[in-house]
Structure 1
Amino acid sequence: MTTHTIGTREEWLAARLKLLQAEKEHTQRGDELAQLRQGLPWVRVDNDYRFDTEEGEAALADLFQGRSQLLVYHFMFGPDYEAGCPSCSAIADGFNGVTTHLANHDVMLWAVSRAPLAKLLGFRKRMGWSFPWASSGGSDFNFDFNVSFTEEQERTKGVDYNFQHTPKFEWRSGGNAVERAFATMAGTDVPTYHRDRPGMSAFIREGGAIYHTYSTYSRGVDGIWGMYPWLDRAPKGRNEAEGPWWRHHDRYGARQVSA
């Protein structure tokens, strides 16, 4: 017997119409936030960042591939990982279908990680992905955009992530259950896993110069996580009371069907 509220179709419709108004306000607020993002001042990028790509060494300008706009997903895949972060992998599962549309709307989408290119492409093949992926392991790109940190920073100086400073990372060699599970799926230990973080950054090329226009981190990437909008409309929602449940899409075992 369900414990959820049961009602008539008329009661459902009345509640749905009330919710519809709230949804419209949420959509309008989302439009306003998009305008605020686009209104941020641009910051010129003068560093000569270099990346490893399937076509060889590339500069940041090369990643635009003739478009004026570039979106970078900072994919958690450090040099000592054996596989990509399961959360970043779940987000990246939605990239294949949008890259073509973005490219034909003057926007290039790339994933960028610090792991060697061979590891990235091997994992991409395993996952069945095709979006472009570059290694930034030979440059300070990840460090300058606050998604990678050294062990010394974590242990002593603290890190700047998600627009706030953590004076000293809480060093836990074993981590909690979720951290241990995710680190294990990435083929590394918890401290090493934490030296790379998720995020996305936007750039524009205009007048021969490149500008950084936007970055977001942590839960700021929820909006590009394709499964979340679906789950938010499912009867049980994200249903994460016991913590994250996802894994690499080729590592789900047989699931018991609910009665």
Structure 2
Amino acid sequence: MKTPTIVTSEQWEAARQQLLVKEKELTRARDALAAERRRMPWLAVEKQYAFDGPQGRLSLLDLFEGRRQLIVYRAFFEPGVFGWPEHACRGCSMVADQVAHVAHLNARDTTLVFASRAPQPDIERLKARMGWTMPWYTMTDEFDTDFGVNDWHGTNAFIHDGDSVFRTYFINSRGDEAMGNTWSYLDITALGRQEEWEDSPDGYPQTQPYQWWNWHDEYTNAEPAAEWLAKIAGSAEDPNGPRSDADKQAATGCCRPTTE
């Protein structure tokens, strides 16, 4: 193995700063792409689909669990898939292993679910074995064929307006590599991260950055803690701004002892 050049700390920092310019350009390009997604046209879902869940038969609208948006990952766990019946597809299992706590998505009015063709008893057994907790449903009809995930994994995003459901985005293949963290999921939804710095159409729901963040076991509280709101007051971050990590920590209180 031919290793890179060994340098001094000053040279290393100079190289890092040079690369950081390109990394920030990539971040801004990614934000711009997400803004385009939020302006994608919506496709009405006219057909009625049925899923089996732990409590019985459910419609596609039921999968939203009362929230505005729905993300459905098609995972391959069923007869004929390598690993059955002990395991799901290796790639889909890697995706499942990387899913962040869904409470953060739920706080943005978004539900994430997995869907396969395996019966519910097998899905519950697999989830218990692998330590997965996301909702996972059984497809009973042509949902996978109709939404491009019958032969390959993929992630579909939906939104509803009353009883009307719309498909808003779809990503698969290497696009799914980025899926797993809260931000990557929100960035493919119609409403985005719902923070004020985002370039979104007029009237889209948006709140101050940091304001809605919480510990995953405390989102049931009606409002964020007053201490947290006080720390973030006036600290909304411009994602394209020059603020240093120290500035951001001082403004939000993140990663600093609360007794200071």
Residue in structure 1 matched with residue 33 of structure 2 by the alignment = 33
Superposition CA RMSD, Å: 1.7
Separation (CA, whole Å) in 2 of partners of 1:207 and 1:72:
19
Task: After superposition, give the CA deviation of every residue in 1:185-205 in whole Å (9 maximum; x if it has no partner).
Answer: xxxxxxxxxxx4211000000
Task: After superposition, give the CA deviation of every residue in 1:142-196 in whole Å (9 maximum; x if it has no partner).
Answer: 1111211xxxxxxxxxxxxxxxxxxxxxxxxxxxxxxxxxxxxxxxxxxxxxxx4
Residue in structure 2 matched with residue 106 of structure 1 by the alignment = 109
Residue in structure 2 matched with residue 222 of structure 1 by the alignment = 177
Separation (CA, whole Å) in 2 of partners of 1:90 and 1:205:
29
- For the residue of structure 1 that corresponds to 2:14, the secondary structure is helix
Equivalent of residue 131 in structure 1, options 112, 134, 155: 134
Equivalent residues of 1:79, 1:116 under 8 A apart: no
Residue in structure 2 matched with residue 46 of structure 1 by the alignment = 46
- For the residue of structure 1 that corresponds to 2:101, the secondary structure is helix
Structure 1 gap segments, 5+ residues each: 149-195, 230-259
Separation (CA, whole Å) in 1 of partners of 2:141 and 2:131:
27
Shift of residue 20 of structure 1?
0.7
Residue in structure 1 matched with residue 19 of structure 2 by the alignment = 19
Separation (CA, whole Å) in 1 of partners of 2:101 and 2:180:
12
Compute the TM-score of the two structures, normalised by the length of structure 1: 0.65
Equivalent residues of 2:74, 2:149 under 8 A apart: yes
Residue in structure 1 matched with residue 200 of structure 2 by the alignment = none
Task: After superposition, give the CA deviation of every residue in 1:21-80 in whole Å (9 maximum; x if it has no partner).
Answer: 001000000101111111111000011100000111000000001101000111122333
- For the residue of structure 2 that corresponds to 1:121, the secondary structure is helix
Shift of residue 2 of structure 1?
6.5
Separation (CA, whole Å) in 2 of partners of 1:64 and 1:225:
18
One-letter code aligned to 1:14 = A
1:1-259 matches, within 5 Å, as 3-80=3-80, 81-82=84-85, 83-95=87-99, 97-136=100-139, 138-148=140-150, 196-225=151-180
Separation (CA, whole Å) in 2 of partners of 1:43 and 1:2:
51
One-letter code aligned to 2:120 = L
- For the residue of structure 2 that corresponds to 1:84, the secondary structure is coil
Separation (CA, whole Å) in 2 of partners of 1:88 and 1:38:
26
Separation (CA, whole Å) in 1 of partners of 2:64 and 2:38:
18
Equivalent residues of 1:91, 1:224 under 8 A apart: yes
Equivalent residues of 1:199, 1:217 under 8 A apart: yes
Separation (CA, whole Å) in 1 of partners of 2:135 and 2:160:
19
Separation (CA, whole Å) in 2 of partners of 1:3 and 1:48:
57
- For the residue of structure 2 that corresponds to 1:7, the secondary structure is coil
Separation (CA, whole Å) in 1 of partners of 2:180 and 2:55:
28
- For the residue of structure 2 that corresponds to 1:134, the secondary structure is strand
- For the residue of structure 2 that corresponds to 1:31, the secondary structure is helix
Equivalent residues of 1:114, 1:142 under 8 A apart: no
- For the residue of structure 2 that corresponds to 1:66, the secondary structure is coil
Q: Which runs of 4+ in 1 moved over 6 A?
A: none
Structure 2 gap segments, 5+ residues each: 185-260
Separation (CA, whole Å) in 1 of partners of 2:138 and 2:149:
14
One-letter code aligned to 1:94 = Q
Separation (CA, whole Å) in 2 of partners of 1:197 and 1:209:
27
Separation (CA, whole Å) in 1 of partners of 2:3 and 2:67:
53
Equivalent residues of 2:72, 2:114 under 8 A apart: yes
Equivalent residues of 1:90, 1:225 under 8 A apart: no
Equivalent residues of 1:74, 1:111 under 8 A apart: yes
Identical-residue share of aligned pairs (%): 41
One-letter code aligned to 2:4 = H
